[in-house]
Amino acid sequence: MKIPQILLAAVLAGTSAAALAQHSGHHPAAPAAAATQMSDGEIRRIDLEKGTILLKHGDIPNLGMGAMTMGFKLKDPAAARDLKVGDRVKFAAEQQGETLIVTQIRKAP
C-alpha cells in the first residue's frame, strides 16, 4: 500500500500549495466568511411570479456592497407572499454566479 499513500501525500501537498497561493493573492480586504448576515431593506417592487424583488438596501457586508436600490432574485418566492411594496425588511443575500439571490427575507420588527 505504499503507492496510494504517496499519491495521497502528493494530493495534499498540492492542495495546501494552492490554498497558500490564494491567500497571497490580491484581495487583502476580503471580509471573513460569515454564516448569514441580515441586511436592512425596503421593498420598492416585488413580483412573486417572476421571483424578483427590487430593494432599497443598506450595507450588505458579505457582498461588499454599500447602500443602493437594486433588483434581486428570490430564492423562495412563496416565503415572500405576505410582503408588499413599502415594507421594511431584514434580508440575507448571496451571489451565485452572476445572480444576486435573496435567500432569506422577513418583515423588520
Residue keyed to cell 454564516: 35
Q: Give the range of 18-26, 32-40, 68-76, 77-85 binding Cu ion by CB under 5 A.
A: 68-76
Residue 71, Cβ neighbours under 10 Å: how many? 13
Distances, alpha carbon 18 to alpha carbons 4, 23, 85, in Å: 21, 9, 46
The least CB distance from residue 102 to Cu ion, in Å, is 11
Q: Give the range of 30-38, 41-49, 69-77, 88-96 binding Cu ion by CB under 5 A.
A: 69-77
The least CB distance from residue 85 to Cu ion, in Å, is 18
Taken in order 4, 8, 13, 14, is the CA torsion positive or negative? positive
57 near 70, Cβ under 8 Å? yes
Q: Which residue is nearest to Cu ion (CB)?
A: 70
Applying CB under 5 A, the site for Cu ion has a residue count of 3
Instruction: Choose among 91, 50, 57, 40: nearest CA to 73.
Output: 50
If one asks whether residue 48 binds Cu ion (CB under 5 A), the answer comes out as: no
Measured from the CB atom, the residue of 48 and 70 that comes closer to Cu ion is: 70
If one asks whether residue 54 binds Cu ion (CB under 5 A), the answer comes out as: no
Residues lying near Cu ion in the complex (CB under 5 A) are found at 65, 68, 70
